[in-house]
């Protein structure tokens, strides 16, 4: 199907959702000064929609006739893309809807995905307006690649989808406390980190995860491979990062994983009432059991229960200047789990964050830092109050679990 293939590879009718309040409140000026002419000269037909309030974009993409658009582009911070992705996955036609190519133009104070895309394009880091211009150029190239999403379960709110991070402890506290410094833009995280260091806490909880095996393949099987073919033909970037995914491989993971028969039975025979995914829109979470049930037996339980932070990342950047998961790629299918055990000194923690600007923190030999690749995780905080963030947004505090869905979304990466 040549026509739809070229549309997929070169989206040109874009809905551009602009959040005028994002970042320092300059998004419309930034659009006028940097983006409008660039898109027009590149022949990108686009319609600007100015978001009026929280959840406006989410409601809009839930209702809109997606056949009118080749791509949905967000000009804001990561928060607005979070709304759009969750809106798409709440639709009855979510399977089709989530294949809509998405784009991001950074005008927020938290622009982690934009920084990740810029990083994947292989050029040296740039910040603020230069990052915006870089992402504008990447958008004009209109090449689409797959992006991992992670489903997040908390105790009593509906399931969420996350494209960036799940955080608890130091990082989550900084993210939320630093909201009050948003007028300084991306520097809010640096200020917030210094403030938090002065009153360093220990966070108690139980952390467990399902380790990722290096050789596992895509989980969704045949159906997605069909789409994958299209993308492989049109996007060299996408195919280069994605080896050996031509076979339907629903079972590859189970086979390569420890052969635990009782667990297999548990997973494959789980009835709807046992499954963590009730009758919701969106893909089912085959690796998760309900939060009130014990962990599957092949999960690894972290022995320590005293932490300074837990950070699960699926893209490289936590903020414009924080390369938290240097090994992450757009659709590697991994949750890059990082945690810091309690007992670390303030000086050592500061050193970690300074090293993180260049992604060098994993090589510092810090005895308190652990990093590993996982496919799913569960965190049960012991303290009654606290902050958990998903893509920088606060979610219900309490037990939380996550499972990665490899390449579920599409992103214009240039
Ligand atoms: P930033 O990185 O600056 O925080 P975000 O993209 O994360 O930028 O946006 C923050 C929040 O602003 C989002 O949760 C979004 O729902 C909300 N929002 C969108 N449009 C508006 C608006 N017109 N007024 C206020 N808030 C808005
Ligand atoms: Mg990833």
Q: Is 358 helix (H, G, I), strand (E, B) or coil?
A: coil
Q: What secondary structure does DSSP assign to 257-306, as a single string?
A: S---HHHHHHHHT--TTTSS--S-SS---TT---TTSPPPTTSEEPS--E
Residues with CB under 5 A from ligand 2 (ion): 148, 314, 328, 332
The pLDDT value given to residue 267: 37
Could you give the C-alpha distances from 281 to 96, 116, 405, in angstroms and in order?
Answer: 12, 28, 14
Q: What is the pLDDT of residue 180?
A: 87
d(CA 191, ligand 1 centre) in Å: 21
Look at residue 228 and tell me whether its pLDDT is greater than 50: no
Question: Is the model's pLDDT at 374 over the cut of 60?
Answer: yes
Amino acid 277: pLDDT: 59
pLDDT of residue 214: 67
For residues 83-97, average pLDDT: 98
pLDDT value at 253 more than 90: no
Q: Where are the alpha helices (DSSP H) in 98-244?
A: 112-120, 128-141, 170-177, 188-198, 222-234, 236-240
Span 128-157, pLDDT tens digits: 999 999 999 999 999 999 999 999 999 999
Ligand 1 pocket, 76 CB below 6 A? yes
How many angstroms separate the CA atoms of 212 and 143, rounded?
Answer: 29
How many percent of the chain have pLDDT more than 70?
A: 81
- Confidence class of residue 414 from pLDDT cuts 50, 70 and 90? confident
Q: Which one-letter DSSP state was computed for residue 30?
A: H
pLDDT tens per residue, range 192-208: 998 899 989 999 999 99
Supply the pLDDT for residue 186: 75
| Mean of all residue pLDDT scores within the chain | 85
Checking if the pLDDT of 36 tops 90, the result is: yes
Domains of the chain and CATH, by start: 2-148 (3.40.50.10330), 160-211+297-406 (2.60.200.40)
Q: What is the pLDDT of residue 9?
A: 53
Residue 22 Cβ contacting ligand 1 at under 6 Å: yes
Q: Please tell me the distance between residue 52's alpha carbon and the centre of ligand 1 in angstroms.
A: 9
Report strand pairing: 71-76 vs 13-18. parallel
pLDDT at residue number 278:
52
Residue 215: pLDDT band (50, 70, 90) is: low
Cα 96 to averaged position of ligand 1 atoms, centre (Å):
26
Q: Where are the alpha helices (DSSP H) in 14-73?
A: 27-30, 36-41, 56-63
**Residue 162 Cβ < 6 Å to ligand 1:** no
| Atom in ligand 1 nearest the alpha carbon of residue 52 | 23
198 Cα–ligand 2 center, Å: 32
pLDDT digits (tens, 9 = 90+) for 315-328: 999 999 999 999 99
- Checking if the pLDDT of 229 tops 60, the result is no
Measure 270 CA to ligand 1 centroid, in angstroms.
40
Question: Does the CB atom of residue 332 touch ligand 1 within 6 A?
Answer: no
User: Which phi and psi angles does 272 have, rounded to 5°?
Assistant: -50, -35
pLDDT band at 287 (very low <50, low <70, confident <90, very high): very high
Least confident of 229-238, 260-269, 303-312, 333-342: 229-238
Substitution candidate for ligand 1 out of 79, 127, 131, 391 with most atoms within 8 A of CB: 79
- Considering only residues 7 and 57, tell me which one the structure prediction assigns the higher pLDDT: 57
Q: Whose CA is nearest to atom 21 of ligand 1?
A: 53
What's the mean pLDDT in 298-315? 98
Higher pLDDT, 279 or 184: 184
Considering every ligand atom, which ligand is closest to the CA of 105?
1
Catalytic residue among 1, 65, 78, 332: 78
> Is the pLDDT at 372 greater than 50, yes or no?
yes
Cα(119)–Cα(132) distance, integer angstroms: 13
Confirm or reject: Cβ of 53 under 6 Å from ligand 1: yes
pLDDT at 37: 97
Annotated active-site residue 78? The verdict is: yes
């Amino acid at each position: 199907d040549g026509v739809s293939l070229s549309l997929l590879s070169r989206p040109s009718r874009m809905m551009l959702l602009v959040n005028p309040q994002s970042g320092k409140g300059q998004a419309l000026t930034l659009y006028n000064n940097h983006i409008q002419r660039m898109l027009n000269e590149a022949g990108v037909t686009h319609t600007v929609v100015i978001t009026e309030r929280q959840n406006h974009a989410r409601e809009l993409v839930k209702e809109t006739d997606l056949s009118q658009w080749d791509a949905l582009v967000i000009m804001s911070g990561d928060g607005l893309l979070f709304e759009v992705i969750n809106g798409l996955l709440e639709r009855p036609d979510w399977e089709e809807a989530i294949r809509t190519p998405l784009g991001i133009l950074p005008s927020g104070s938290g622009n982690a995905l934009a920084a990740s895309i810029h990083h994947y394009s292989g050029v040296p880091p740039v910040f603020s307006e230069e990052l915006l211009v870089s992402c504008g150029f990447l958008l004009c190239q209109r090449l689409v690649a797959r992006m991992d999403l992670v489903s997040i379960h908390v105790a009593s709110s509906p399931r969420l989808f996350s494209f960036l991070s799940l955080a608890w402890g130091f990082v989550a506290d900084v993210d939320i406390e630093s909201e009050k410094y948003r007028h300084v833009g991306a520097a809010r995280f640096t200020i917030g980190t210094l403030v938090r260091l002065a009153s360093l806490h220990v966070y108690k909880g139980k952390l467990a995860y399902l380790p990722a095996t290096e050789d596992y393949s895509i989980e969704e099987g045949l159906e997605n491979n069909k789409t994958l073919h299209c993308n492989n033909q049109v996007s060299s970037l996408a195919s280069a990062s994605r080896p050996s995914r031509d076979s339907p491989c629903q079972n590859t993971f189970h086979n390569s994983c420890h052969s635990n028969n009782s667990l297999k039975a548990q997973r494959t025979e789980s009835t709807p009432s046992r499954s963590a995914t009730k009758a919701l829109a969106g893909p089912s979470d085959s690796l998760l059991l309900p939060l009130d049930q014990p962990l599957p037996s092949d999960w690894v339980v972290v022995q320590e229960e005293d932490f300074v932070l837990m950070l699960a990342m699926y893209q490289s950047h936590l903020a414009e200047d924080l390369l938290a998961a240097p090994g992450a790629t757009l659709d590697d299918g991994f949750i890059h789990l990082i945690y810091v055990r309690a007992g670390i000194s303030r000086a050592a923690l500061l050193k970690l964050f300074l090293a993180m600007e260049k992604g060098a923190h994993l090589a510092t030999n810090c005895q308190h830092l652990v990093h590993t690749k996982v496919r799913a995780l569960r965190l049960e905080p012991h303290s009654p109050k606290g902050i958990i963030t998903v893509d920088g947004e606060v979610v219900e505090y309490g037990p939380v679990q996550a499972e990665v869905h490899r390449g579920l979304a599409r992103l214009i990466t240039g």
